[in-house]
Chain A
Amino acid sequence: GNSVTQMEGPVTLSEEAFLTINCTYTATGYPSLFWYVQYPGEGLQLLLKATKADDKGSNKGFEATYRKETTSFHLEKGSVQVSDSAVYFCALSYQAGTALIFGKGTTLSVSS
């Protein structure tokens, strides 16, 4: 079936460190891939997305590249800030009209 696997957290970094959160997927066909972010006590917000192989999604300094050969969509940021502390969810959409499938989420904690 279709699924998303994320690296387990929590991830703890110092400010200005490099961030990578791994995400791999299993899906039939050619899914679209997403990263959502959840700040404490809030709902999720779309961070970035990529709809086809080799596409790079980017937003607020975060980037992720859709790698079909490795079925991956790893999230990266060159220099994290304290305000980036949140839970990050990788997700996929394999068919229009169906709900998104989410990974389990990775908690990021950035200290100054």
Chain B
Amino acid sequence: DGGITQSPKYLFRKEGQNVTLSCEQNLNHDAMYWYRQDPGQGLRLIYYSQIVNDFQKGDIAEGYSVSREKKESFPLTVTSAQKNPTAFYLCASSRTGDNEKLFFGSGTQLSVL
């Protein structure tokens, strides 16, 4: 079955530590996105990528980094510069030119120890 997979489901970060959230899709989609979800604030865009080896900052990119070396994968690193990383992180993908219909993963809950 085609889909988008995020791992791990739960992740804990220590002070000063970088952590990486995985996102893999086998839908052959060109575009991939990372959103952060906080209670009462909805979804806010962190980064997105329309094509391999290219990505753009979203509204809240500070303290985060991404790479897009393969079409199937779009990992997100939460760096130590992100002072408030506790949130639910959602990865999504879409076909190029059809950014309207997003397919979402089941999310990763990141918490700070």
Contacts and interface: CB of A to CB of B under 8 A. Distances in A.
A7 to B, nearest CB: 13
Contact of A43 (B40, B41, B100, B106): B106
Interface residues of B, number: 24
Contacts of A100: 99-100, 102
A106 B39 CA distance: 11
Interface string A73-112: 0000000000000000100010011111011110000000
B33 interface: yes
A51 B98 CA distance: 12
Nearest to A101: B45
A91 B73 CA distance: 25
B99 A93 contact: yes
Interface of A: 32, 34, 36, 41-46, 49, 51, 89, 93, 96-100, 102-105
Interface of B: 4, 6, 33, 35, 40-43, 45, 48, 50, 58, 90, 92, 96-97, 99-102, 104-107
Q: 3 closest A-B pairs (Cβ-Cβ)?
A: A43-B104, A104-B42, A102-B43
